Amino acid sequence: MDFPALIAHRGLHNEAFPENSMGAFRNAVFHGLAIELDVHLTKDCKLVVFHDNSLKRMTGVEAEIEDFTYEQLTALKLKDTDEKIPLLSEVLKEVSGKVPLVIEIKEGSPVGVLEKRLDSLMKSYKGQWCVMSFNPMRVGWFKKNSPDITRGMLLSRHKKKLDFKYIKKYISSFGIVHNTIASPDFIAYDLRSVTMEVIMDAFSNGCPLLGWTAKNEETLTEALKFCKSVIFENIPPEKAIEISEIEYKEE
């Protein structure tokens, strides 16, 4: 996959278009921006585009997304708008190869279940796309079963609190772990914890380095100096494009 300089985080969302909504994806396509999105598997094994395991933040419902069927999810609205949780197939039809897609596989289903359905669905998709995950086992599934698909590791050492979730991410961030299990084609690293060591490791392994998530112009400007692509949000698309077109030269 050819990585563009800019990737819209969960679509090009704003107050009118919630994250991971059809409106946010249409907005990204309109501005010619690649899209990062998240996929979950519902109770009835449908691939839906949604970030959190919990429905609370985006819909106000105190429940886990994997406990709902897709039909039940259609009754929910995203952030007091008319937007609903979309099927991945709906997003694919809308984007239709106009911009690249970066698909993050979320946790919830057993390893291999979501991946197999995603791989099957994407076989007929005419457009550039890739997969990534924090879980090297999920990325490794594509290494074993669909090696032609561009696959990446999401890595972070940013610590909100010392819990099991952080420990898993920390362990996976070591090359000896994710390179052995997943052999990623690219690395997507948390800009809050990126270091020169990370940059050099990616370079030495021949892996493009993606950075996430730039939430202001200053962070985007700095990240574009060492990242192949930067996943961004909360920056006007025209300004983000302007920043990405700046040629950085050594003084």
Listed residue (157, 166, 101) closest to 129, CA to CA: 101
Q: What is the dihedral of CA 181, 183, 188, 192, to 10 degrees?
A: 50
Nearest by Cα to 127 from 88, 154, 155: 88
Kindly provide the residue ranges of all beta strands, DSSP E only, lying in the chain, ordered along the sequence. 6-9, 34-41, 47-49, 101-105, 129-133, 151-155, 186-190, 209-214, 229-232
| pLDDT on residue 160 | 79
Q: Which amino acid is at 132?
A: M
Which pLDDT score is estimated for 206?
85
- Cα angle, residue 137 at apex, residues 109 and 191 outer, rounded to 5°: 100
Q: What is the DSSP string of 118-163?
A: HHHHHTT--S-EEEEES-HHHHHHHHHH-TTS-EEEEE----SS-S
Are residues 149 and 184 in contact, defined by beta-carbon separation less than 8 angstroms? no
Give 214-229 pLDDT, tens digit per residue. 999 999 999 999 999 9
CA distance 238 to 193: 27
Question: What is the reported pLDDT for 249?
Answer: 40
Question: Are 224 and 244 spatial neighbours (Cβ–Cβ below 8 Å)?
Answer: yes
Q: Is the dihedral of CA 13, 220, 207, 245 positive or negative?
A: positive
Query: How many angstroms separate the CA atoms of 159 and 239, rounded?
Result: 30
Give the DSSP H/E element, type plus range, for residue 179. Answer: helix 175-181
Report how far apart the first and last C-alpha atoms of the chain are (Å, whole number). Answer: 32
* pLDDT for res 251: 36
pLDDT confidence of residue 75: 96
Q: What was the pLDDT predicted at 247?
A: 53
Q: Which of 164, 140, 144, 163 is nearest to 153 (CA)?
A: 140
Q: Report the pLDDT value the prediction gives residue 163, as an integer from 0 to 100.
A: 83
Listed as ranges, residues in the chain with pLDDT below 70 are: 247-251
